[in-house]
Amino acid sequence: MQQLKSFLCGRWQSGADPQTVLHDATTGAAIAQTSSRGLDLGAALRHGRAVGGPALRQLSFAQRGEILGQLASVLVTHRDHLLDLSGRNMGTTRGDGKFDIDGASGTLAYYAKLGQTLGDRTWLADGEQVQFSRSKRFVGQHIWSPRRGIAVHINAFNFPAWNLCEKLACALLAGMPVLAKPGTATAIVSVRIVELWQEAGLLPDGALQLLVGSAGDLLDHLGPQDCVVFTGSGSTGQQIRSHPQVLRYNVPVNVEADSINATVLGPDIAPGSDVWTMFLAEVVREITQKAGQKCTAIRRVLVPSAVADEVQAELVARLQDARVGDPAVQGTAVGPVAGPAQKRDVVAGLQNLALHAQLVWQAADVPADGCFVATSLFRTDAGAAAEYVHDHEVFGPAATLLPYAGSADEAVDIVARAGGCLATSVFSDDAAWAGHVVLGVAPYTGRVYWGSSKVFDQGTGHGAVMPALVHGGPGKAGGGEELGGERGLRFYWQRTAIQGDTQLLRGLVG
């Protein structure tokens, strides 16, 4: 059985027994083990701060970007190998695996390019000089400079490549060293990626460390210049936010947590039209892709009551064609969920959902072994009043149809009922109606996707996170924000207002 090691303080290290076992999601067989017990995590954080930070900060944005570009190239070179590992560890179909691996290399490449754009500097000015009324000589200038601590990244199990890379791309380009902890159940891909990077010798010493297994006492060692970025469950997010060291030093914490995303079909969309088809394809993809294990996946499907039965029939027809089974078999649409613990969570969630909404369809012929879950479609006519549906994210291949009368305000109220989402989509060609919904859901959503006939064949998809756009959501979705081009770097920076003589500041800031 493979022993997964952590890469800390410049060397690969194994923790003491007992070990945590990782499974092949398709067969359920144990395939690897790991432990972080006894590893000196305080030393790892100090190593990042003392060695990795200074090394990164002396590089320009262009130089940091160049490193990111090389990291991306390694992923491209070893793509097939990583896709195999992903399929074996977490049961992804080849398409699901690509979404993760190619998303990772694409995001690294995006930030590599941004590094070139930011150029030969090591920190940035924010805005122009501010003049005060009483003097023309004495002015203010804001700057962004990298925090002097270490960025702790606690990643989710569902994207072992992309989640690792999208976070570290921003931190490293910003000039902060990283200690990343992947979700243990699917850590094989994360570990292999860091091994490949280490073998290629691309990163300055201390710039990137990897902790595999339990976080142990990691957070006890946080200091006032550190920060934490977390993707995962709301309850773990709460634990991090309320950790004594986080509170003591006001350590910035970015959380991306439970999100019960919605899509809204506009009343103007006629059955059979391009947008109708686009909408159906989008919902099916969001339910089936990665077996529904995407933080941006559609969980609530708002459809005008007048066409609810028709939408339901069409979705069922398409979902019936999306076979659940061994991801290695050609034509499989839905693989297993990522591991035994994930399967238990999803099955429990589906049982609860069935208490509050009607199960209108469920996939048959689902393998009993391994971590397979039956694709499921629910429906409730309770709208915003529905219980459970708006409150609990079932992180698997399932969604709930919510018929509504067709008014924009009603749609906004139903979407808002979840208390904050990562992604909401609206499908409509009625600019006024859709504009009302888009602006109405905006305060409750990190990203709004507007599908219309003008872009029916061009969209990037409801669930795809683009590095140029912010990813995160308010309220229950965590209240955080990642990516968004340069915006994603600012979390790792301190903004400082500098006041002084206008010429001296120009000499300093440029």
Q: Active-site residue numbers?
A: 256, 295
- What SS3 string covers 94-128? HHHHHHHHHHHHHHHHHHHHHHHHHCCCCCEEEEE
Who contacts 462 (Cβ-Cβ below 8 Å, separation ≥6)?
Answer: 261, 263, 282, 285, 286, 296, 298, 423, 425, 449
DSSP string, 179-209: EEE--GGGHHHHHHHHHHHHHHT-SPTTSEE
CB of 251 to its own copies, least distance (A): 7
Q: How many CB atoms lie within 10 A of CB 364?
A: 9
Cβ distance to its own copies smaller for residue 292 or 467: 467
Contact 400, 379 (CB under 8 A): yes
Q: Cα–Cα distance between 305 and 267 in angstroms, integer?
A: 9
Distances (CA, A) of 103 to 79, 99, 161, 165, 166: 11, 6, 8, 9, 9
CB of 135 to its own copies, least distance (A): 4
Q: Cα–Cα distance between 157 and 145 in angstroms, integer?
A: 31
Q: How many CA atoms lie less than 13 Å away from 19 in the CB half-sphere?
A: 14
Angle at 257 between CA 254 and CA 263, to 5 degrees: 120
Q: Cα–Cα distance between 410 and 188 in angstroms, integer?
A: 45
Q: Cα–Cα distance between 230 and 167 in angstroms, integer?
A: 9
CB of 419 to its own copies, least distance (A): 4
CB of 118 to its own copies, least distance (A): 15
Query: Amino acid identity, residue 179?
Result: L
CB of 431 to its own copies, least distance (A): 6
Cβ distance to its own copies smaller for residue 242 or 351: 242
State the greatest distance between any 2 C-alpha atoms of the chain, in Å, as a whole number.
78
Cβ distance to its own copies smaller for residue 363 or 470: 470
CB of 266 to its own copies, least distance (A): 12
Grouping H, G, I as helix, E, B as strand and the rest as coil, residue 287 is: helix
Cβ distance to its own copies smaller for residue 199 or 457: 457
Grouping H, G, I as helix, E, B as strand and the rest as coil, residue 168 is: helix
φ, ψ at 263 (rounded to 5°): -130, 145
Q: Cα–Cα distance between 253 and 260 in angstroms, integer?
A: 21
Distances (CA, A) of 464 to 92, 297, 377, 468, 470: 17, 9, 22, 12, 12
Indicate the Cα dihedral angle 484, 487, 490, 496, nearest 10°.
-170
Cβ distance to its own copies smaller for residue 85 or 470: 470
Cβ distance to its own copies smaller for residue 196 or 466: 466
CB of 95 to its own copies, least distance (A): 17
Structure token digits, residue 334? 């839905």
Cβ distance to its own copies smaller for residue 321 or 501: 501
Cβ distance to its own copies smaller for residue 13 or 233: 233
DSSP string, 399-465: EEEEEE-S-HHHHHHHHHTTS-EEEEEEE-S-HHHHHHHHHHHGGGEEEEEEE-GGGTTT---TTPP
CB of 208 to its own copies, least distance (A): 20
Q: Is 32 exposed, middle or buried (0-12, 13-18, 19+ CB in 10 A)?
A: buried
Contact 384, 407 (CB under 8 A): no
CB of 363 to its own copies, least distance (A): 30
Cβ distance to its own copies smaller for residue 43 or 497: 497
Indicate the Cα dihedral angle 347, 353, 355, 361, nearest 10°.
-80
Contact 374, 363 (CB under 8 A): yes
Cβ distance to its own copies smaller for residue 204 or 451: 451
